[in-house]
Amino acid sequence: MTRILITAAAGCILTAGIGYLLLPVLRALKAGQSIREIGPTWHNGKAGTPMMGGLMFVFGTILCLVGNFPAMSDDSPFYVLALSLCFGLIGFLDDFTKVKFHRNLGLTTLQKAMLQMAVSALFLYAMYRSGFMDTHLYIPFVNVSFRLHPIVYIFFAMFVMVGTDNAVNLTDGVDGLCASVTLPVMVFFTAAAAAMGKYDLALLPAALAGGLVAYLFYNWHPAKVFMGDTGSLFLGGVVCAMAFALEMPLILILVGFVYVCEAMSDILQVSYFKATHGKRLFKMAPIHHHFEMCGWKEEKIVLVFAGVTAAMCVLAWFGIAGLVS
């Protein structure tokens, strides 16, 4: 447990230091965010804010794992990191395209989805062949699990992983929101892994939790930097990979409650708009923009959404009592 706490502290310190060095570089490269015309008008003031700030906690997490490598006996954290880095790389390509061509749209939805599915399939295959994961599906609260056919499980897992990654990406729309929501999720996975005796696996979310604390100093409203798709897709990768590495993917419904709401609000908005030929279900989607349009300040949205996530993580802990007792 001491090593986990030290790793979290190291993640915070390293991310803060990397951010201090990275921010001037991003400004010099003019890696600024373009603002969508259909977004809230008051977001126009955010134009030009450096993006790809997620690199600071990505590198902070990598350095923490590398530093712990000599004392580690479990390779599963590196499988989780590999998937997350691949998702982050997809985000980096998206951010790079936006910066290079000075536009808000990078890779197409189809391009990102195809890359995410390919990466997810490779991760699942590697974890299954290495014995770090089987095809049992654990049901929270009732403490039962059942085995799915490997092919069914892979398709189910790919759907969950790609969906989770994109849902986390949608959450990154208000200063500090994605990091603040993901922080309690990382604390949950750290505690769950440690309680299950998977101390090496607990190091990754611990390092990232510390990194997110440091990142929030740069990203709290008014943000000095945005994580970009580089950061949000990396975070989504860690969230879904940890759930599968701990063999509790259904727990994402609880710990990822805000992510689910963000994604569902976007899907419902588009579906309702098409079905009613132009009417809107929400003032704006994803749901955090709806609350903005209702007059909520960004700080209030962040605190409420993070608080809801923390409460859902506590509830989820009781749901996995059979695994951690």
Handedness of CA 104, 109, 110, 116 (dihedral sign): positive
Helices (H), the chain: 2-28, 55-68, 76-101, 109-129, 150-171, 177-195, 199-219, 228-245, 252-255, 257-275, 287-293, 298-319, 321-324
pLDDT of 28 > 90? The answer is no
Residue 178 and residue 220: Cα distance in Å, rounded? 11
pLDDT in tens, 51-65: 899 999 999 999 999
From residue 228, how far is each of 57, 110, 244, 299 by CA, in Å?
12, 19, 25, 19
- Higher-confidence residue of 31 and 239: namely 239
Average pLDDT over every residue of 61-84: 93
Buried b (16+ CB within 10 A) or exposed e, 91-110: bbbbbbbbbeeeeeebbeee
Binning pLDDT at 50, 70 and 90, where does residue 325 land?
A: low
3-state SS, one letter per residue, for 268-289: HHHHHHHHCCCCCCCCCCCHHH
**Per-residue confidence (pLDDT) for residue 138, from 0 to 100:** 92
Hey, what amino acid is at 188? F
From residue 168, how far is each of 4, 130, 229, 295 by CA, in Å?
25, 28, 10, 23
Binning pLDDT at 50, 70 and 90, where does residue 304 land?
A: very high
Indicate the average pLDDT of the chain: 92
Binning pLDDT at 50, 70 and 90, where does residue 107 land?
A: confident
Q: What are the boundaries of each domain within the chain?
A: 2-324
Residue 24 and residue 109: Cα distance in Å, rounded? 31
**Per-residue confidence (pLDDT) for residue 48, from 0 to 100:** 76
pLDDT in tens, 121-158: 999 888 888 877 788 899 999 988 889 988 899 999 99
Contact present, 280 and 269 (Cβ < 8 Å)? yes
Residue 38 and residue 51: Cα distance in Å, rounded? 19
From residue 283, how far is each of 35, 38, 279 by CA, in Å?
18, 12, 10
Of 38-42, 145-149, 224-228, 273-277, the least confident: 38-42
**Per-residue confidence (pLDDT) for residue 201, from 0 to 100:** 96
pLDDT in tens, 169-224: 999 999 999 999 999 999 999 999 999 999 999 999 999 999 999 999 999 999 99
pLDDT of 38 > 60? The answer is no
pLDDT of 30 > 90? The answer is no
**Per-residue confidence (pLDDT) for residue 210, from 0 to 100:** 98
Average pLDDT over every residue of 161-171: 97
Q: Token pair for residue 230?
A: 């580089």
Please report where in the chains the tokens 């499988």 appear, as a residue. Answer: 79
**Residue among 269, 264, 291, 290 nearest 280 (CA):** 269
pLDDT of 3 > 90? The answer is yes
Average pLDDT over every residue of 239-250: 95
Residue 181 and residue 256: Cα distance in Å, rounded? 9
Angle at 313 between CA 312 and CA 318, to 5 degrees: 95
pLDDT of 120 > 90? The answer is yes
pLDDT of 35 > 90? The answer is no
**Per-residue confidence (pLDDT) for residue 98, from 0 to 100:** 82
